[in-house]
Amino acid sequence: ILNQPNKRNAISLEMWQGIESAAENFSNDNEVRVVVLSGAGDKAFSAGADISQFEENRASKEATDHYNQTVMATLDALDHLNKPTIAMIQGFCVGGGASVATHCDLRIAAENARFAIPPAKLGLAYRWEDVYPLVQLIGPTFAREILYTGRLFTAAEALQMGLVNRVVPIGELESYVADYASTIAGNAPLTVHAIKQTIQETLKDPQDRNLSLVEELVNACFASDDYREGRAAFMEKRKPNFKGR
């Protein structure tokens, strides 16, 4: 949970570090099958980076470099988290908050969600590493619209652009996401991990793809107890009980 509701969950430097640590812990916890990120309260997923810290954290090139490295390490940890990640979004999802959401595998938004990436309104610029994931997700045309205007987009507009996967009524958001996550968690963990890694590799430049890793993950699925359990459950017309091994 992004937890600074008095500031609409603006992400402080310490929160960036906390997200990175949590992502690494979840990756190493075999009991975790799906990770859901949300914002505390009902006003915002996150209104972006905590601007009140900028005088300290971005006061010089050295401080800015350290801050940027921390943010990139956090987003990289989300990218490499070996379980599916879902951003559960209500209210404002802006700037750095939108970056966190776009680095999740899936985004499910309430009807009251509002999205913006407003560097043009602040006089700052995003680096290539900040812009590329957005372009990769929604394409250059919509990325230009979001970044050039800096305006707030509705949940319906975000759905139309492909920025979110689903939009649901506000009162149904938590139950919908819980059911959605439960569906994923009920599938074979090794298979889900292999799928996630395979998709990640397809998004890389051809020369950077680790296809041998994909092959290893596929072979591990076929050699797993879960594959035998899946076949048996299908033949016996029952729900499989996957163990992740």
Residues 6+ apart with CB under 8 A from 243: 225, 226, 229
Two structure tokens written together for 36: 């859901």
d(CA 153, CA 89): 13
* pLDDT tens digit sequence for 15-63: 999 999 999 999 999 999 999 999 999 999 999 989 888 777 776 778 8
The string of DSSP codes covering 94-155 is ETHHHHHHHTSSEEEEETT-EEE--HHHHT----HHHHHHHHHHHHHHHHHHHHHH---EEH
End-to-end CA distance of the chain: 29
Distance, CA of 15 to chain centre: 15
Two structure tokens written together for 174: 């938590």
What is residue 126's predicted lDDT score, i.e. its pLDDT? 87
Two structure tokens written together for 190: 């090794």
- Side-chain half-sphere exposure of 191, counting CA atoms within 13 A: 15
DSSP 237: T
Identify the three-state secondary structure at position 38. Answer: strand
* pLDDT tens digit sequence for 160-184: 999 999 999 999 999 999 999 999 9
Beta bridge pairs of residue 86:
36, 106
Name the pLDDT band for 130 (thresholds 50, 70, 90): confident
d(CA 165, CA 159): 6
* pLDDT tens digit sequence for 110-125: 999 999 999 999 888 8
Of the candidates 90, 4, 89, 92, which has an alpha carbon nearest to the alpha carbon of residue 52?
4
Q: What is the pTM of this model?
A: 0.94
Two structure tokens written together for 138: 């929604």
